[in-house]
Amino acid sequence: MKMFPPSFGSALSVAGESRLPVDAPFDKTQRLFVDGLLAGLSAIVEAQEAGDTGTTGSALRVLFGSQTGTAEALSKNLRKFAATQGFDATISDLDAVTLVELAEVEHLLIIVATTGEGEPCDNAKRFHTALMNSDAQQLPPTLQFSVCGLGDLSYPAFNKIAKEVDVRLHELGATRIRDAVFCDTAYEDDFAVWKEDVFATPAFANAAGTPRAPEPFPDTAEPVFTKQRPFTATVLDVRRLSGQGPGKVVNHVEIALAGGGPDLDYRAGDALGLWPVNDPAEISAFLAAAGFTGAESVSLKSGPARLRSALLRFDLTLVTPATRKAWAVPDAPADGQVIDLLRHGVPGLTPQVLIDGLRPLQSRLYSISSSPEAHPGEVHLTVGELRYDLHGTERKGCASTFLGGRIAPGSTVGVFVQQASHFHPPEDDRPLIMIGPGTGIAPFRAFLEEREARNATGENWLFFGDRTEARDYLYRDQIEGWRATGLLARTSLAWSRDGQDKVYVQDMIRRDASEVFAWLERGAAIYICGDAARMAADVDRALHHIIADAGQMDARSAAAYVERLVHDHRYRRDVY
């Protein structure tokens, strides 16, 4: 059997080598397409020449832990690549396997994201608990694995779960065949190197079966518009939802998706990804602090650019290890932002060094607050402007203030649809309890619009709230309209600053305990969206409490009841 080199499946991407003569009469896209086709055909011929007419690859298990879909998408990419390396990959989420099953596996690749404040994703929780258990069973050395972690350096618990999974598998006896990679938000390069390296290890290369031809490029099944190739959409409307006075400003944003085709099709529960740009006024302040005019030239991956325009697309806040290294500031305080470092003065800073220490700006996700059935060709968002004080100066979030203040009808913005793997409304007519204070209301407006458009008969109960009713009752007219028509059987509203006592949605759940339990007993699904730091955990505690109380159970039985809800996909969360 012929062994192919590890980079066989990505021959085109390696140094961009083309199989076509340089003067072949093709433009760039045509050249890529023909090259992909030729790569595929030559792979088949090479395999046949080697006498490999069979199509069996060796077994590979790919497991992912994913909250917003990236790790899942990368697993699919890995499966395709694995086929070109002689492996037939089976993909599933981490919770789909037990440690007993894992012990039978020989080749294992894990792509796992960290979510919350250093927590496992919903589809990796059970696996993570079992793995970290002090009584976890030993694993055999024949289990050969490597881990790719997805994370974000702006979180203190950077890649916590990937690190734990990697260390624990090794501790339990499995064989690590390649060091784990812990990716930041710009994961593409690290993932690509890890993927190639893994198949080049003796443990994988020596076990490879028959490689398959790579799928021709462009693969017609591949989407045209993705996170990396966003659709340029036009803004239709931006209007303020919250009232005047102190407090968070929340805006309603409407964006046209016409012309985006099927890649922009979405379902209630999905999120819209979008690429913001920095505020020009903030860039001016940044340049002043750095002592540059903005007219200086810098070199970017995409080519040369003026510093001022380059800064539109770099993160002006986050201090990363790359910042510390490029700017030679190893002791930069953890709680500061790059502007604070500049204000203190960074010796030897040149425009290029400045850029080299900044992380490219990342896309942001927003829960979609419209149903495509109610608003064909449009997508609506409900965006809270982030403003906070740090070291005595006001700071603001990049994307939320971009959407709130720097776009207007007619502006364009790069967008993509991020499908939710686990947060769509129930397909049947079961009762639905939705808990979404603040901007957490967004997906539930979409759910209710969808149930209305479909004349769905399932009962709906909305828990909503914020500081004050007069200022913060988002979508009041629509919600009251739905109460009047009966689409909303119940609303429970919690205003934390209106009365003597602070009341939150979790208090309303406790107040309505017996009714909530009765709904659950009738098969209701319960969905939570919004603040991950406090609200989601408080609601979860309240839920356990009322189930124990109203169901007359001890704490352990109440926990098992909640576990069953999760298992039956009746308890779902989309928190950020």
Ligand X SMILES: Cc1cc2nc3c(=O)[nH]c(=O)nc-3n(C[C@H](O)[C@H](O)[C@H](O)COP(=O)(O)OP(=O)(O)OC[C@H]3O[C@@H](n4cnc5c(N)ncnc54)[C@H](O)[C@@H]3O)c2cc1C
- Among the listed residues 12, 18, 118, 510, the single contact to ligand FMN using CB under 6 A: 118
8 Å CB contact between 443 and 290: no
**In the bound complex, which residue of the shown chain has the CB atom lying closest to ligand FMN?**
151
Decide: is 364 part of the binding site for ligand X (CB under 6 A).
yes
Closer of 50 and 132 to ligand FMN (Cβ): 132
Hey, which residues between 508 and 537 contact ligand FMN (CB under 6 A)?
532
The span of 78-86, 119-127, 361-369, 562-570 binding ligand X (CB under 6 A) equals: 361-369
DSSP, residue by residue, 116-145: TTTEE-GGGHHHHHHHHSTTPPP--TT-EE
Q: Residue 439: which of ligand FMN, ligand X, none does it interact with, CB under 5 to 8 A by kind?
A: ligand X
Q: Please, which residues bridge with residue 381 across strands?
A: 253, 368
In the set 399, 434, 448, 462, which binds ligand X (CB under 6 A)?
Answer: 399
Q: Identify which of 104, 365, 386, 370 has the alpha carbon closest to the alpha carbon of residue 254.
A: 370
Of the ranges 145-153, 219-227, 366-374, 460-468, which one interacts with ligand FMN (CB under 6 A)? 145-153
Among 158, 286, 444, 447, binds ligand FMN (CB under 6 A): 158
218: preceding bond cis by omega (within 30 degrees) = yes
Q: Report d(CA 278, CA 286) in Å as an integer.
A: 11
Footprint (CB under 6 A) of ligand X, residues 252-271: 271
Of 221, 388, 410, 428, the one binding ligand X (CB under 6 A) is 388
Selected range binding ligand X among 156-164, 235-243, 395-403, 458-466, rule: CB under 6 A: 395-403
β-bridge partners, 378: 256
* Residue 64 CA: distances (Å) to CA of 40, 92, 127, 162: 28, 7, 11, 11
Residue 132 vs 386, nearer CB to ligand X: 386
Alpha helices in 410-441 (DSSP H): none
DSSP class of residue 280 equals H
Distance (Å, whole) CA 385 – CA 542: 29
Cα separation, 107 vs 204, whole angstroms: 7
In order of 33, 197, 466, 477, the CA distances from 11 in angstroms are 13, 15, 54, 57
The full DSSP string for 225-268 is S-SSS-EEEEEEEEEE-S-SSSS--EEEEEEE-TT-GGGG---T
- CA 89 – CA 72 distance, rounded (Å): 13
Query: Is residue 363 close enough to count as binding ligand X by CB under 6 A?
Result: no
Interaction partner, residue 157 (ligand X, ligand FMN, none; CB < 5-8 Å by kind): ligand FMN
Q: With CB cut-offs between 5 and 8 Å by kind, which of ligand X, ligand FMN, none does residue 158 bind?
A: ligand FMN
Which of ligand FMN, ligand X, none does residue 375 bind (CB under 5 to 8 Å by kind)?
A: none
Q: From residue 16, give the alpha-carbon distance in Å to each of 10, 214, 304, 388, 487.
A: 10, 16, 20, 45, 56
Determine, following the binding rule CB under 6 A, whether residue 151 of this chain makes contact with ligand FMN. yes
Distance of CA 153 to the CA centre of its chain: 14
Cα 157 to chain centroid, rounded: 16
Which CB sits closer to ligand FMN, 225 or 495? 225
- Among ligand X, ligand FMN, none, the one that 390 touches (CB under a kind-dependent 5 to 8 A) is ligand X
Which two tokens mark 566? 């999760």
**If binding is defined by CB under 6 A, does position 439 make contact with ligand FMN?**
no
109 binds ligand FMN (CB under 6 A): no
The full length of the chain comes to 576
Among 91, 162, 249, 383, binds ligand X (CB under 6 A): 383
| Interatomic CA distance for residues 395 and 335, integer angstroms | 13
Helix segments in 276-422, DSSP class H:
280-290, 307-310, 321-326, 338-344, 351-356, 398-405
Residue nearest to ligand X as judged by C-beta position: 397
For the segment 422-441, give every residue that binds ligand X (CB under 6 A): 439
The span of 38-46, 62-70, 269-277, 467-475 binding ligand FMN (CB under 6 A) equals 62-70
- C-beta of 68: minimal distance to ligand FMN in Å? 3
One character per residue 61-80, x = contact with ligand X (rule: CB under 6 A): -------x------------
Q: Which does 407 bind (CB under 5 to 8 A by kind): ligand X, ligand FMN, none?
A: none
Q: Which of residues 159-178 bind ligand FMN (CB under 6 A)?
A: 159-160
Give the residue, chosen from 35, 60, 70, 191, that forms a contact with ligand FMN under the rule CB under 6 A: 70
506 interacts with ligand FMN by CB under 6 A: no
191 binds ligand X (CB under 6 A): no
Instruction: Answer yes or no: are the C-beta atoms of 180 and 166 closer than 8 Å.
Output: yes
Question: Which segment (30-38, 200-208, 339-347, 379-387) binds ligand X by CB under 6 A?
Answer: 379-387
383 contact choice in ligand X, ligand FMN, none (CB below 5 to 8 Å, kind-dependent): ligand X
Which residue stretches of 307-394 are H helix? 307-310, 321-326, 338-344, 351-356
Which H or E run contains 495? strand 490-495
For ligand X, the binding residues in 143-162 under the rule CB under 6 A are 154
- For ligand FMN, give the closer residue by CB, 14 or 533: 533
Applying CB under 6 A, the residues found at the interface with ligand X are 68, 154, 271, 364-367, 382-384, 386, 388, 390, 397-400, 439, 442, 574, 576
Residues near ligand FMN, by CB under 6 A: 66-71, 113-118, 121, 150-152, 155, 157-160, 185, 532, 576
